[in-house]
Chain A
């Protein structure tokens, strides 16, 4: 478990300590995740609109696909898989 203002999440197998109320997309940007998802042609994509419209930030969260990381806050124990790791 984590204390203070941080939580621990797992991103592509890496354990990260992030601010407890951070938006997941913001936490992933800080973790230097380059490719949140892989496009149809194989390009790495990352957040564009930041507000749930473009779906470029979508990642697997706790086993569920297509979750918009910009629309949720991190939770302790969250397991995230990005497009780079999945494809």
Chain B
């Protein structure tokens, strides 16, 4: 950071993916002081993550250019550690770790656009090096990982399997296959439902063609992975028969889980595992908005529409009719996707007693008791007490045992003590800034 950031703003947007970018653009264009906090080196989130080998796709390029021109102040490499409403200064105080130093922002309103992460389900061998997520593999690919001639097997669930298989194939990988756990009839029905959006259907076909030589199988999943010298042997199953597939990279993930931690730490109410929002993207807390995946997994177009709505309302202006209409239509589409790719029961039976469930603390499945809640798991086994703060195992245990998520307390990311101290100390300084600005 070369110039000092005025730590007070009208609207703080947390998360620099499509939803956060849209919110920051419209709020800044309406004349508000906007700060966008994002933890990656550049904005874009996951789907628009900068690919070092290719130019940004047109939609991403347009929005990123619009963000640069909007006047919003983008702070990259900033991980939000806590957020609270401070009654002393009547502002929200957001504490972030910027690289390795603290950054404290105060804001009148907050738009939470923290996106989603992948859902990982444990199976024997899932902790081996070379077993990656699907979005995870895509992220590493965009960051320059060379997959030329590497044998890649992609498995799990959801629409993300297709574009990542296509990216891998285009990058020269030998894609061995794409294995969707959902049964054929559901995938076919979902594909047919895309016919109302011919452009989406065309895109799906283009992806499929990109890895044309590899099979796309439905009703299959990975039962186990073993290391064999330098590579991985994955056991592919349809529930009846198993067969081994030798690969260099095994990419496995089962859909997306909303990143609701900052919102829940602030105190926002949830519904069905997501942040509860109204048609204006307002959460249960005054002056706190939520847009995109944390308000319900639904993809990039929905994130953009919700970001526009949230940013507009947060800036005190009316959102465009187009954004509102898109939102309604895209929510219906998202619901269809969830039904199509619902997870099958067999996935609950994959982990063996010695299969690690909490990767941070190496807690095996056999140490868990289904009658517990996350709190007991933490107390008796340390599961959820590592640096990922239960993000990985929590989603898995929620599916395996139907556990609710545990409550969230700050810091919502591992942070230096220096950052936690700075957050407390700068509130006194902020009250001086707030009184200057009124």
Contacts and interface: CB of A to CB of B under 8 A. Distances in A.
A64 B100 CA distance: 9
Q: Which residue of A35, A53, A70, A72 has the most chain B CB atoms within 10 A of its CB atom? A: A53
17 contacts: A23-B140, A35-B129, A43-B127, A44-B129, A45-B129, A48-B132, A48-B359, A49-B135, A50-B135, A50-B138, A51-B135, A53-B117, A53-B391, A54-B391, A55-B386, A70-B139, A72-B41
A52 B362 contact: no
B143 A54 contact: no
Interface residues of A, number: 37
Nearest to B395: A53
A2 to B, nearest CB: 15
Interface of B: 39-41, 46, 52, 77, 79, 100, 117-118, 120, 127, 129-133, 135-146, 359-362, 386-388, 391-392, 414
A71 B41 contact: yes
A55 B360 CA distance: 8
A23 B120 contact: no
Q: Give the top 5 A-B pairs by smallest Cβ distance, nearest first.
A: A23-B143, A50-B136, A50-B139, A46-B129, A22-B144
Given A47-B136, A48-B136, 6 more contacts: A19-B52, A21-B52, A26-B140, A30-B145, A54-B392, A72-B41
Given A26-B140, A30-B146, A55 B135 contact: no
A45 B52 contact: no
Interface of A: 18-19, 21-23, 25-27, 29-30, 34-36, 39-41, 43-56, 58, 64, 66, 70-73
A35 B386 CA distance: 18
A61 to B, nearest CB: 10
A40 to B, nearest CB: 4
A22 to B, nearest CB: 4
B136 A49 contact: yes
Given A25-B143, A41-B362, A50 B137 contact: yes
Given A19-B52, A25-B143, A40 B362 contact: yes
A53 B389 CA distance: 9
B352 to A, nearest CB: 15
B39 A46 contact: no
Contacts, number: 109
A40 B382 CA distance: 12
A49 B39 CA distance: 15
A19 B144 contact: yes
Query: Among the interface residues B130, B133, B136, which one has the most CB atoms of the partner chain A within 10 A?
Result: B136
A22 B118 CA distance: 22
A27 B144 contact: yes
Contacts of A21: 52, 144
Given A22-B144, A66-B414, A48 B392 contact: yes
A21 B54 CA distance: 12
A27 to B, nearest CB: 7
Contact of A54 (B140, B146, B388): B388
Contacts of B359: 39, 45, 48, 54, 56
Contacts of B77: 71-72
Contacts of B414: 55, 66
Contacts of B118: 49
Given A30-B145, A30-B146, A39-B127, A47 B388 contact: no
A60 to B, nearest CB: 13
A19 B142 CA distance: 12
Contacts of B140: 23, 25-26, 29, 47, 50, 70
Given A23-B143, A64-B100, A66-B414, A71 B133 contact: no
B392 A73 contact: no
B341 to A, nearest CB: 19
